[in-house]
Structure 1
Amino acid sequence: MKLSKIYSNHDERFVPINFRDGLNVVLAEIRLPENRNKDTHNLGKTTLGTLLDFCLLSKRHARMFLFKHINLFEDFVFFLEIELSSGSYLTIRREVKEATKISFKKHLSPRQNFQHLPEEKWDHYKVPFERSKSILDGILNLAAVRPWHYRKGLGYFLRTQDDYSDVFQLRRFASAHSDWKPYVAHILGFDAKLISDFYEKETEIEKLNSREKTIKSELGGSIEDLGRIEGLLLLKQQQADKQQAKLDSFDFRDQDKDKTRELVDQIDDEIADLNAERYTLMYNKKKILSSLEDGEMTFDPERAARLFKEAGVLFEGQIKRDYEQLIEFNEAITEERRLYLQEEKAEVESRLKEIGEELNRLGRLRSETLSYLSETDVVRKYKQTSNELVELRSDVLKLTRQRDDLQTLQKLRADIREAIDGKTHLVSALEREFKQKNSQVSDNVYKTIRLLFDEIIEDVLDQGALLTVSLNNQFHPEFGAEILDDSGNATSAQRGHTYKKLLCIAFDLALLRAHLGSGFPAFVYHDGVFESLDRRKKSNLLEVMRRYSNFGIQQIITLIDTDMPPDVDESPAFSEDEIVLKLHDEGPDGRLFNMPSW
């Protein structure tokens, strides 16, 4: 797998880049004096690596420049042409706007332009993202990284400035060691399944121990013998059955003292309510009788006429007639009122009779109920038996839970012992594996990579380097890369950023050469490759790169002209053919994207 070409649907804003088989140089020229001392220049040499990763189906995330500045790039469609190990080519089409819909087209000739290829001509058109990754994984067929996906270790071959901090743990590996260490061990030639199985066994034991701790906590810290618990449970269950039989032999009519007490309380409440109603009715009846007695008219017009005559006052005529009419009207009203009062009196007396009968019935019922409650011996015996049964059932339930927990605990401990035995066997297998792979007499991929790694560092720095893979005290794989002094001892050189970067470059190149032709990527992208190296080391590294290009490894490197290796025989370090992209700071047309800086 090599890179052949990258282009877009906007040639005027993104000039197509054709990659060579060997060394490919992306050169950024700083032409303006005021930019000479700047750390960053925003020309796009690092951005190219991110763009290649996007075309190789990295996940969409908001921090990526294409989506962070979506207003500038939403109409872009990118095309990456890849050379396959079979000699044919594959073009990957990915839009920014619909970044999760990918298209694929296989073809025989390189340097194609499929910007305007109709939908029906694509082998796969706008396939969903996860399915697209599976399709691409199948087409690339990188057998040397199986069973992992092609993207798992892609970061070793697309190293940007953020990927030089650690030789082995990539920035995208910011996860549990069990996720990435088996992969690294695999590409170094170790049995990764042993390592994966070991991590899985550790996780299994951890989960089992956690469950054991939980159950022990639920048992309250006192763990009884299971046989004793079974015996106690048998006895308690037998006692509970006996108590239930006693209760079943009693005949309590309503059978529940609490319910009986509730009945008494209910009767008392009803009697109280009826008595209150009877009092109100009797008071109303008294008022009705009083009103009936006061309803007769006591005014006599004839007597009033005689009284007025004696006093010499005229009472005859109209005045007498008005009083007589008033008396007649009053008698009519009084008679109607008396009818209403008599009806109300009849209703009150009827209700008082009903209340009296209901009170008599409730009184008898209350007496009978209280008589039942007075049978204290039977009730007390029932209460005592019920309480004992409740206690026994509680004990049975508690013992049952304890028995179940103990059985689970025993099963867990058996599983833990089995898992620990499995882990012990894996430890033995790992020790044999690491001993065999580290043996000097053994020919394997790991030995080849170690020798190549040392050779590269020796050629560049004139110092040896040691690549190590070992087991730590927990039997986890540990990876190391060290620069050695003349006595073969590790130096502190690799701790600096420049030498850390050099170790990363040497590791990547050694990996590629060791796996060349075995279903492994055959390209690498190294950003800022010569930064901070002195002139002699730059020349040495460039010689190594050219040698590895001759082996068939495609290298894409970026650098600023101030980091250029020295000329050779008064000729520039790089030929015009090797420089596939030249950037500069004199305007938008010198950037990777021909547009103002964002």
Structure 2
Amino acid sequence: MKIHGISSEIPLFRTVEFNKNFSIVLGVAKSRGEGKSHNLGKTTLIELIDHILFGSRDSERIKAIKENFPNPVFTVELRMGSETRKIVADYTKKKKAAFSTEVKQSYEYFIRFQDDYKDEFRKVSIRGKDLSWKPLLLRLMGFNERPLVEKYEIESTIQDYDKFIEIAASSGMKREGRAEEIARLEARRTELMNAIASLNFGSIEDSTSAQLASEVDSRILYAKRELFVQRKELSAVTEALRSTAFVQFTPERIEQIYADLNIYFGEQVKRDLSDVQEFFVQVTENRSTALSAMKKRILESVSTLEQELTILNEKRAQYLQLIVAPGSIDLYRQLSPQLAETETELSLLKQDVYRESIQTATAERNLLKTQQLTLAAQVASEIDEHDATFREIKSHYHQIMADVMDIDSELVIEKNSTGNLDFRTISWRDQSPSQELKGEMAKKISCAAFDVALRIVNNDDSGFIIHDGVIDNADRNIKKKFIEAMKRRSIQYNFQYIMTAISDDLPDSVEHEDIVITLSDKSDRELLLGRTF
């Protein structure tokens, strides 16, 4: 899949037709003393292509286009083998991605913007935990990512079990001075039972007495025990609903802090903070919904138990009317609820109400840990025994870095005993480790070299790579070597390489036909969209 061109129904939009293999989108620098050229449309062009093809989130540039142009309709024309395909995006309507999530993921490392050169492996656009990107990267490197995915999923479940066990243990009746508390309650129970035994039940019929003792009181005791537990749960859920899980913040507040400190607050930072805010809001809403549903169920259970207790107490009162001893009914009514409450608390103290759940969760967690170790071994085996594609990627990466930066460097996958993977780049000079890859320009070239190496071995669709601003601020020699290396490889391995650049010190080796569009702010018509906005 190669990009033939992009056009628009916006009248002054400058249509761009890309070369089959190598293209430069050029920005003309401002006059000396005014700094580098920005807002000419170089990055906007790349964002439009990314957004139209893969449905990435609306950036500030995309939002501005929607707001400032009456007919924001764009067409991207693709070469797909011997056929062409036109992707039309009408920004006045709801837009869908042109390609599936799988295709979008396969191009994750083939479009880099100006803030994507800090890490070869984890781009700014990659969010979430390791599960969201390491398996994808492993697949692009030629490995079977399934054992790693299953390991992450099991680890997530183990964390859920750990959290459950922690909550269950803290919610159980495990407290300091437990023996002392039990002794106190047992003494209180003995006092209550002795007091009840002293009441005059002599006039009550034997059958009624048996039913009162063995049936009604037992049912009341059970109902009150359940009601006690439910009210404890209700209290815990209500408290949880009063607490928010995440800090409340807005990107606007963070932006104001940056402004007060005179620190540049970039568009990507805004996008990231908006995504974080959206994530926090969504998780808080999901949590509140789940807790509210739980509270509703507990309230219904409490209501049912309270109704049952009312009926049972009324029935007991009917039986007590048979007692003839003066004052016995009133005294029994006072003592019986106290005895039921004492029995309930004592029962809960003598047994951990969460014990069986904790034991079950612990057993299942231990089983999962065994499976985790098995999968960790499978991940390690996969890295060690099926690395033919990865070795090819490493070779291409090493050669590009040597050609452009004269640096001996290597891609490394480190694995530990738990099966976790770390992706690193290392460099050396004269057979000794060096810190050369920590330099800003070396890191940018390293990111580009990694992408190109991936593309060379993952090029079944004769696809494209787009690098925005990759050699900005580089010296003339590096620019020359880089352009030559990219152009030569794009032709040799039949992929399409598109880069944006500014005109400062552009090497003489760049041919006129390599430049597919020149953007400048000398006049509005030389801008991408025909005017500033």
Do the two structures share a fold, i.e. TM-score over 0.5?
A: yes
Pairing 1:76–2:72 present: yes
Alpha-carbon deviation of 1:395?
5.6
Opposite residue 7 of structure 2, the aligned amino acid is Y
What is the distance in 1 between the residues matched to 2:37 and 2:511?
25
Pairing 1:561–2:503 present: yes
Match of 2:448 in 1: 505
Alpha-carbon deviation of 1:484?
2.4
Pairing 1:149–2:98 present: no
Match of 2:487 in 1: 546
Could you list the per-position Cα deviations for residues 61-98 of structure 1 after superposition, in whole angstroms to 9, with x for gaps in the alignment?
3x4213135442242100011122x4212111111221
Pairing 1:170–2:123 present: yes
SS at match of 2:85: strand
Q: Return closer, same or farther for 1:47/1:403 CA change in 2, 3 Å cut-off.
A: same
CA contact (8 A) 1:73 1:96 kept: no
Q: Return closer, same or farther for 1:55/1:395 CA change in 2, 3 Å cut-off.
A: closer
497-506 or 584-593, larger mean C-alpha shift: 584-593
What is the distance in 1 between the residues matched to 2:456 and 2:344?
73
Q: CA RMSD in A?
A: 3.7
Q: Return closer, same or farther for 1:459/1:249 CA change in 2, 3 Å cut-off.
A: same
What is the distance in 1 between the residues matched to 2:432 and 2:205?
92
CA contact (8 A) 1:531 1:563 kept: no
Alpha-carbon deviation of 1:458?
0.8
Alpha-carbon deviation of 1:425?
0.9
What is the distance in 2 between the residues matched to 1:552 and 1:45?
24
Match of 2:8 in 1: 8
Could you list the per-position Cα deviations for residues 230-250 of structure 1 after superposition, in whole angstroms to 9, with x for gaps in the alignment?
xxxxxx9xxx9x99x998848
SS at match of 2:512: coil
SS at match of 1:526: strand
Q: Return closer, same or farther for 1:382/1:17 CA change in 2, 3 Å cut-off.
A: closer
Match of 1:91 in 2: 86
What is the distance in 1 between the residues matched to 2:515 and 2:332?
102
Q: Which residue, out of 43, 52, 55, partners 1:55?
A: 52
SS at match of 2:354: helix
Could you list the per-position Cα deviations for residues 379-410 of structure 1 after superposition, in whole angstroms to 9, with x for gaps in the alignment?
5885698368625752686379x465222112
Pairing 1:464–2:463 present: no
Match of 1:211 in 2: 164
SS at match of 1:204: helix
Percent identity at matched positions? 25
Could you list the per-position Cα deviations for residues 117-155 of structure 1 after superposition, in whole angstroms to 9, with x for gaps in the alignment?
xxxxxxxxxxxx3xx55xx32xxxxxxxxxx62222534
CA contact (8 A) 2:77 2:84 kept: yes
For structure 1, list consecutive stretches of 5 or more residues without a partner in the other structure: 102-128, 138-147, 224-235, 256-371, 568-572
> Where in structure 2 are the equivalents of 1:419-430 lying within 5 Å?
419-430=368-379
Opposite residue 494 of structure 2, the aligned amino acid is G
Alpha-carbon deviation of 1:415?
0.7
What is the distance in 2 between the residues matched to 1:27 and 1:381?
96
CA contact (8 A) 2:5 2:77 kept: yes
CA contact (8 A) 1:167 1:507 kept: yes
CA contact (8 A) 2:27 2:501 kept: yes
What is the distance in 2 between the residues matched to 1:420 and 1:18?
55
What is the distance in 1 between the residues matched to 2:458 and 2:73?
33
Match of 1:411 in 2: 360
SS at match of 2:125: helix
What is the distance in 2 between the residues matched to 1:584 and 1:381?
96
CA contact (8 A) 1:74 1:96 kept: no
Match of 2:23 in 1: 24
SS at match of 2:102: coil
Count of residues in Structure 1 that have an aligned counterpart in Structure 2: 407
Match of 2:262 in 1: none
Q: Which residue, out of 427, 449, 455, partners 2:399?
A: 455
Alpha-carbon deviation of 1:538?
2.2
What is the distance in 1 between the residues matched to 2:472 and 2:325?
104
Could you list the per-position Cα deviations for residues 530-568 of structure 1 after superposition, in whole angstroms to 9, with x for gaps in the alignment?
323333322222221122121201011111111312x2x
Match of 1:285 in 2: none
Opposite residue 557 of structure 1, the aligned amino acid is M
> Where in structure 2 are the equivalents of 1:69-468 lying within 5 Å?
70-84=66-80, 86-98=81-93, 100-101=94-95, 129=96, 132-133=97-98, 136-137=99-100, 149-221=102-174, 249=206, 375-376=325-326, 378-379=328-329, 382=332, 386=336, 390=340, 394=344, 398=348, 402=351, 405-437=354-386, 444-468=388-412
Alpha-carbon deviation of 1:488?
4.6
What is the distance in 2 between the residues matched to 1:69 and 1:556?
23
Q: Which residue, out of 523, 528, 531, partners 1:592?
A: 528
Q: Return closer, same or farther for 1:378/1:221 CA change in 2, 3 Å cut-off.
A: closer
Alpha-carbon deviation of 1:505?
0.8
CA contact (8 A) 1:464 1:488 kept: no
Alpha-carbon deviation of 1:507?
0.5
Q: Return closer, same or farther for 1:392/1:529 CA change in 2, 3 Å cut-off.
A: closer
For structure 2, list consecutive stretches of 5 or more residues without a partner in the other structure: 177-188, 213-321
CA contact (8 A) 1:483 1:493 kept: yes
- TM-score (ref. length: structure 1): 0.61
SS at match of 2:424: strand
Match of 2:472 in 1: 531
CA contact (8 A) 1:25 1:556 kept: yes
What is the distance in 1 between the residues matched to 2:335 and 2:14?
95
SS at match of 1:97: coil
Alpha-carbon deviation of 1:454?
0.2
SS at match of 1:172: coil
Could you list the per-position Cα deviations for residues 448-501 of structure 1 after superposition, in whole angstroms to 9, with x for gaps in the alignment?
101110011011122211101112465321111233212152x22222221111
Q: Return closer, same or farther for 1:434/1:66 CA change in 2, 3 Å cut-off.
A: closer
Opposite residue 375 of structure 1, the aligned amino acid is A
Opposite residue 484 of structure 2, the aligned amino acid is E
CA contact (8 A) 2:74 2:89 kept: yes
Opposite residue 394 of structure 1, the aligned amino acid is T
What is the distance in 1 between the residues matched to 2:430 and 2:82?
45
Could you list the per-position Cα deviations for residues 29-67 of structure 1 after superposition, in whole angstroms to 9, with x for gaps in the alignment?
23x534x65134321112211111121142453x42131
Q: Return closer, same or farther for 1:26/1:382 CA change in 2, 3 Å cut-off.
A: closer
Alpha-carbon deviation of 1:179?
1.0
SS at match of 1:211: helix
